[in-house]
Amino acid sequence: MAAASGDSGYGVNFPASSPHVVAVGGTTLRPDGSARGWDETAWTPGTDQGAGSGCSGRLPKPAWQDDPGCDHRTVADVAAVADPATGVAVYQTYGGNGWYTYGGTSAAAPVIAATYALAGPPPPGSDPASFPYRHPAALHDVTTGPAPTACTPAYLCTAGPGYDGPTGLGSPNGVDAFRAS
């Protein structure tokens, strides 16, 4: 259900480009003094690095996706922390001993899958990938982040208000965006 968008910056990968999965982009997450307590930006550390994003050249755009600059499936849908410098902490007992920090969109995808699990089972016959598009206000809109690569249209590789390629509609703000209604 949740597929990593890839870690090579602008460009789409399968299975994230499939209209049958939730394509998960990536962010950098750092503590700050805001009310939320976190500063979140698109994860794009350099040329050919960062959250995968873009427009599929072959796979159809699902009915629930309506960004204007791509006639086919656009990646990503949502995002979670993926920067290896600020990634997820994992206690490793096999092949290691202690806490390690992991990153990449392959670390972000399980965060989104877990958020769907916390939201509860989807109704039979529903399309869970469409749920965030019904509730974008229930997500943290990630609006900034460096863009080492230029692309057209720019929103496919640069974070900004509303939908963008690297972070989709945003990152989880609870589970409401991951429910059917």
Q: Which of 91, 98, 113, 112 is nearest to 27 (CA)?
A: 112
- What is the per-residue pLDDT for 147? 65
Can the peptide bond before residue 15 be classed as cis, meaning omega within 30 degrees of 0? yes
Q: What are phi and psi of 138, to 5 degrees?
A: -90, 10
Whether 46 shows a pLDDT value over 80: the answer reads no
State pTM to two decimals.
0.94
Q: How confident is the model at residue 44 (pLDDT cuts 50, 70, 90)?
A: confident
Do you know the residue count of the chain? 181
Amino acid identity of residue 21, one-letter, is V
Provide the 3-class DSSP secondary structure of residue 146. coil
pLDDT band at 96 (very low <50, low <70, confident <90, very high): confident
Which pair of structure tokens corresponds to residue 119? Answer: 């939201």
112-155 pLDDT, tens digit each: 999 999 999 999 999 999 999 999 999 999 999 866 677 889 99
